[in-house]
């Protein structure tokens, strides 16, 4: 710590409310040394006289300090006071007036106090009083105010007498902080340098009149006996030092103060209002309150303080002088908390459903002042400060306060707005410091930079019509085909707004009902595809601002396309500037290392049993839906959340309270998240990426299943079993497929146990798994034919569809986030362009027929919507089934996964359909096929087949799927 400068004086340090008597000045000590003959008994009597505000009140600049201090007592006798102030009366006249005033006072006070007052009529007694002043510091300022009558009639006499002894009165260290251009000894002691443009020459005595009456003791009527002793009012108490106390000073410097607002700012204290500022590197700090400009005393190490004789805290600003500039600003430590008790209660309960409105950085107007409110949850921190571009990344002077036992730290910083970068400087329990990004940041720097950015939204949405109709039918009873998009690589280099010009049109042309966007939330490593999130509330800055992302969503909605996003509440990375051990101890992660570390990805798992952590995630789900109009959340890695032994060997996990392997905290979190989202945001769907046989993933949370658990409450679940089995089947050479026929039929055993999505996602076309077309056997023609046949089978199978970008035009290479889809395959100059374009045309036609045919989606989750025609034709590699709508209207899907044409293949059909015609044939020439089709309507025959009363004969093209519907 740097030494205290001499200009700060030698007054003791004290915090607000401490009654520390001021120390005598050098002049007072010298005067006291010369007058050692003052009787101790007289000194003791006079030390009891209250002496506070008269010494601090401002008086006309033309008067000596002692006269000004005494003149404040003359308010009850205004005329006499004016004469005393405006004229210099002869010494004999003053003595005569003083004698008369003393006689009058003697009639109304006790003998003891009369004696004390008469002592002031002689110079010898005045000398004794001056000596006492040097010893007791402020006793003389109000020694004659013990009774109402004496205070009224004798002040003028005292004023005249004090003029005659001005030099002695000056030694009494009278505080006169508002004198123009003069710094009195008392002002030095109070730590202020005060100036005023208009000295209150005659208003000061009148202004103090009410306060003076409040300080007197009332005599008993008609008896002259003093009333019983009363507690001294605040204004009669001894003034305290305004400087920050040693303990608070050290804690502020070290960043371990939990309540800086109780020390800094303006506070009523005995003697007036104490102003304290902590401005490291400042040369000076001046308080500006109306016409009053008071320079605070520099206490060293960035601390400034001063005591102003004001009755209450005024509206004020600070002029902070730095080298080469002066900052005119509000005092951050004069503001009340921006968070109320309800916010803190809900945070503690884990029920603040709009947590993003309470925590984080929010530009706002608070108590009539514009600035930014910062709030962060860090219950283990010893102290928290805000560092950013606005303070050159030195948070020393921007200390946050702890709000009760909530663990929330808050501060409102005036004059700070959008675009500023910031982080929280946290002092950990061991005293070390860490600089952390805001967990609730709604905007971040572009990675690899890691700072949070102050932001607010001014976006005006235009998707009201979309939002109104999206809740008309639940997702599992509506057409739902999804185009999965990795935004940074779909068209590399495009921003959110540029994507908004191209993506909606492309997706609409292909007929998809939804897009699923990845990644959305901010993440440091692009190679993670957004699955190791550090900014859960911030759209990735790689592509633009949050409002730019809103524009993309809005544009998709206006094109009639729903928007899903990948949401990752299962884990988070260990980056030391993000969530890991955020405040020095496990906070967002589980405290048990066996429960905290994710064994597969080197990340940390959330502590779902902690109220605040659960609240952080539930509110995050709502945030994306409410603030960005997201229509659905695809929840990543649900299986890893549900099981305590997920990817762990025996001994590496701890059973739950019932001895089981289920993560009960995660179950409760997922149930709460789903129930809350569906309650607050109509029309939104949640989708679980869950790969196990957990019972009731898409069952309502209040309905218990055989396992005893209520449902998790998801709207849809990825059918990972269907995906794995069907791709395994398709990868076999057709000659061997008959041995794996069950892999294509087994899905119907459990198809209605959940509400399913059939996902051909990014996970299936990376890391050596090859693209979808490359998984297929045979030559190039057979690969594309298998690819088309598989898509036709997929779109007809019960469940919703999801296809990753690039697979819609049979990209041969694995996807890479570095360069995205191989769009050059669709270049007309490329020789095989027609073959790739044909696959894309098929996807468009599949979506078009799908959306127009309720039988393909209306009863996706109802067994009444599906009937096998033939499911056991393993030797033929043929699968045929009917899909039905609620009215019984069918569509027939037939897949031939053999590379041969099957002529007159008989299939049993309903007898009430007079004729069938092809709706889709994946072998059509326009798709790149061999064009083996059934161009004419096919009429049923009365020959029973496959257990049905009628049948039809079809020509089945090789490696193809055909859809037929009633003519």
Whether 631 is a known active-site residue: answer no
Residues 895 and 743: their CA atoms lie apart, in Å, by: 14
Closest CA to 605 of 645, 566, 572, 578: 572
CA distances from residue 388 to 256, 281, 422 in whole angstroms, order as listed: 19, 16, 4
- Comparing C-alpha atoms, which of 965, 759, 959 is closest to residue 849? 965
Residue 213: left if φ>0, alpha if ψ -120 to 50, beta else—which one? alpha
For residue 69, what are the CA distances in angstroms to 83, 119, 141, 592? 16, 20, 7, 68
E strand segments, 378-448: 383-388, 401-402, 408-414, 421-427, 433-436
Task: Name which of 1, 423, 72, 501 is nearest 246 in CA terms.
Answer: 1
195: alpha, beta or left? (left if phi > 0; alpha if psi -120 to 50): beta
Query: CA-CA-CA-CA torsion for 750, 756, 758, 763, nearest 10 degrees?
Result: -100
> Rounded to whole angstroms, how far apart are CA atoms 924 and 842?
9
Catalytic residue among 22, 353, 689, 725: 689
DSSP 8-state assignment for residue 307: E
Backbone torsions φ then ψ of 130, nearest 5 degrees: -60, -40
Q: Which listed residue (331, 554, 636, 808) is catalytic? A: 636
How many beta carbons lie within 10 A of that of residue 714, not counting itself?
29
From 280, 264, 615, 577, select the one nearest 426 (Cα to Cα): 577
- Which helix (H) or strand (E) is 791 found in, with range? helix 780-796
- Helix locations, 87-147, DSSP H: 91-107, 111-118, 123-136
Residue with tokens 């004023």: 159
Element at 304 (helix H, strand E): strand 303-308
> Coil, helix or strand for 207?
helix
My answer on whether omega of the bond before 216 falls inside 30° of 0, hence cis, is no
φ, ψ (nearest 5 deg) of residue 617: -80, -40
Residues 6+ apart with CB under 8 A from 467: 557, 629, 683
Query: What is the C-alpha separation between 517 and 529, in angstroms, rounded?
Result: 11
Q: How many CA atoms lie within 13 A of 477 on its CB side?
A: 8
Task: Give CA–CA dist 425/398, Å, rounded.
Answer: 10
Is 689 catalytic? The answer is yes
What residues pair up with 917 in beta bridges, in sequence order? 965
Return d(Cα 876, Cα 372) in angstroms, integer: 70
DSSP sequence for 534-576: SEEEEE-GGG--HHHHHHHHHHHHHTT-EEEEEE--SEE---T
Please check whether residue 419 is in contact with residue 406, taking contact to mean a CB–CB distance below 8 angstroms: no
Q: Are strands 360-366 and 369-377 parallel, antiparallel or unpaired?
A: antiparallel
Helix (H) or strand (E) holding 196: strand 192-196
Q: Is the dihedral of CA 698, 699, 705, 706 positive or negative?
A: negative
Annotate 936-957 with b (16+ C-beta within 10 A) or e (fewer).
Answer: eebebeeeebbebebbbbbbbb
Q: Is 14 left (phi over 0), alpha (psi -120 to 50) or beta?
A: beta
Helix (H) / strand (E) containing 254: helix 246-254
- Enzyme catalytic residues: 636, 689
């Amino acid at each position: 710590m740097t030494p205290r400068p001499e200009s700060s004086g030698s007054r003791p340090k004290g915090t607000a409310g401490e009654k520390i008597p001021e120390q005598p000045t050098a002049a007072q000590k010298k005067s006291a040394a010369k007058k050692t003959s003052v009787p101790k008994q007289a000194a003791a009597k006079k030390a009891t006289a209250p002496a506070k505000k008269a010494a601090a009140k401002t008086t006309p600049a033309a008067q000596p300090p002692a006269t000004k201090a005494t003149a404040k007592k003359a308010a009850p006798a205004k005329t006499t006071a004016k004469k005393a102030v405006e004229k210099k009366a002869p010494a004999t006249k003053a003595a005569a007036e003083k004698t008369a005033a003393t006689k009058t006072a003697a009639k109304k006070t006790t003998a003891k106090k009369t004696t004390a007052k008469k002592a002031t009529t002689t110079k010898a007694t005045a000398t004794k009083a001056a000596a006492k002043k040097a010893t007791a510091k402020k006793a003389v300022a109000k020694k004659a105010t013990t009774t109402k009558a004496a205070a009224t009639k004798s002040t003028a006499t005292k004023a005249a007498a004090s003029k005659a002894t001005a030099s002695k009165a000056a030694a009494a260290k009278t505080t006169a902080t508002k004198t123009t251009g003069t710094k009195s000894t008392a002002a030095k002691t109070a730590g202020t340098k005060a100036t005023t443009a208009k000295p209150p020459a005659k208003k000061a005595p009148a202004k103090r009149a009410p306060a003076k009456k409040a300080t007197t003791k009332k005599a008993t009527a008609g008896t002259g006996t003093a009333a019983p002793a009363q507690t001294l009012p605040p204004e009669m108490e001894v003034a305290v030092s305004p400087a920050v106390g040693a303990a608070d000073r050290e804690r502020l410097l070290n960043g371990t103060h939990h309540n800086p607002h109780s020390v800094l700012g303006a506070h009523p204290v005995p003697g007036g209002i104490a102003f304290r500022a902590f401005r490291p590197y400042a040369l000076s700090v001046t308080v500006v309150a109306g016409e009053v400009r008071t320079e605070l005393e520099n206490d060293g190490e960035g601390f400034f303080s001063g005591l102003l004789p004001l009755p209450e805290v005024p509206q004020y600003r600070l002029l902070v002088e730095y080298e080469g500039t002066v900052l005119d600003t509000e005092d951050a430590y004069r503001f009340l908390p921006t968070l109320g008790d309800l916010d803190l209660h809900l945070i503690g309960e884990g029920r603040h459903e709009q947590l993003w409105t309470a925590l984080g950085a929010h530009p706002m107007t608070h108590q009539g002042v514009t600035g930014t409110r910062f709030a962060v949850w860090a219950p283990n921190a010893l102290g928290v400060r805000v560092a950013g571009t606005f303070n050159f990344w030195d948070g020393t002077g921007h200390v946050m306060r702890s709000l009760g036992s909530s663990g929330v730290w808050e501060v409102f910083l005036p004059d700070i707005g959008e675009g500023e970068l910031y982080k929280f400087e946290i002092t950990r329990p061991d005293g070390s410091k860490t600089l952390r990004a805001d967990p609730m940041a709604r905007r971040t720097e572009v990675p690899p930079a890691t700072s949070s950015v102050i932001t607010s939204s001014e976006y005006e949405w235009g998707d009201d019509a979309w939002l109104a109709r999206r809740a008309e039918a639940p997702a599992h009873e509506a057409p739902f085909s999804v185009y999965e998009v990795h935004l940074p690589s779909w068209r590399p280099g495009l921003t959110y707004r540029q994507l908004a010009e191209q993506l909606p049109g492309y997706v609409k042309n292909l007929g998809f009902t939804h897009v699923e966007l990845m990644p959305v939330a901010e993440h440091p490593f692009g190679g993670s595809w957004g699955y190791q999130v550090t900014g859960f509330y911030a759209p990735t800055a790689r592509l633009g601002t949050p409002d730019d992302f809103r524009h993309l969503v809005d544009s998709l909605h206006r094109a009639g396309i729903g928007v899903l996003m990948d949401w990752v509440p299962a884990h988070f990375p260990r980056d030391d500037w993000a969530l890991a051990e955020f405040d020095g101890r496990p906070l967002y992660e589980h405290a048990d290392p066996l429960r905290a570390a994710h064994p597969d990805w080197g990340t940390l798992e959330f502590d779902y049993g902690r109220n605040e952590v659960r609240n952080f995630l539930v509110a995050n789900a709502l945030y994306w839906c409410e603030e960005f109009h997201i229509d659905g959340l695809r929840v990543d890695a649900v299986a890893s959340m549900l099981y305590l032994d997920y990817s762990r060997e025996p001994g590496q996990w701890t059973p739950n309270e019932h001895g089981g392997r289920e993560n009960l905290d995660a179950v409760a979190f997922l149930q709460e998240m789903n129930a809350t989202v569906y309650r607050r945001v109509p029309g939104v769907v949640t989708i679980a990426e869950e790969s196990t046989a957990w019972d009731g993933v898409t069952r309502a949370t209040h309905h218990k299943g055989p396992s005893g658990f209520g449902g998790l409450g998801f709207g849809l679940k990825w059918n990972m079993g269907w995906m794995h089995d069907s791709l395994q089947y398709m990868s076999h050479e057709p000659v061997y497929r008959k041995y794996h026929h069950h892999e294509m039929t087994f899905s119907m055993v459990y198809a209605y146990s959940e509400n399913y999505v059939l996902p051909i996602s990014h996970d299936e076309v990376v890391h050596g798994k090859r693209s979808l077309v490359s998984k297929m056997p045979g030559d190039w023609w057979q690969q594309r034919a298998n690819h088309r046949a598989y898509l036709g089978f997929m779109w007809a199978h019960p469940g919703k569809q999801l296809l990753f970008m690039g697979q819609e035009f049979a990209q041969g290479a694995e996807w890479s986030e570095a360069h995205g889809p191989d769009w050059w395959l669709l270049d007309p100059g490329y020789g095989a362009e027609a073959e790739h374009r044909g696959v894309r045309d098929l996807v468009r036609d599949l979506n078009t027929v799908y959306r127009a045919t309720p039988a393909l989606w209306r009863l996706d989750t109802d067994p009444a919507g599906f009937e096998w025609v033939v499911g056991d034709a393993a030797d033929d590699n043929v699968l045929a089934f009917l899909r039905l709508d609620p009215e019984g209207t069918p569509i027939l899907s037939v897949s031939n996964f053999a590379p041969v044409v099957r002529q007159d293949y008989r299939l049993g059909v309903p007898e009430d359909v007079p004729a069938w015609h092809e709706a889709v044939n994946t072998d059509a020439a326009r798709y790149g096929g061999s064009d083996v089709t059934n161009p004419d309507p096919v009429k049923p025959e009365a020959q029973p087949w496959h257990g049905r009363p009628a049948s039809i004969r079809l020509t089945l093209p090789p490696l193809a799927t055909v859809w037929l519907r009633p003519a």
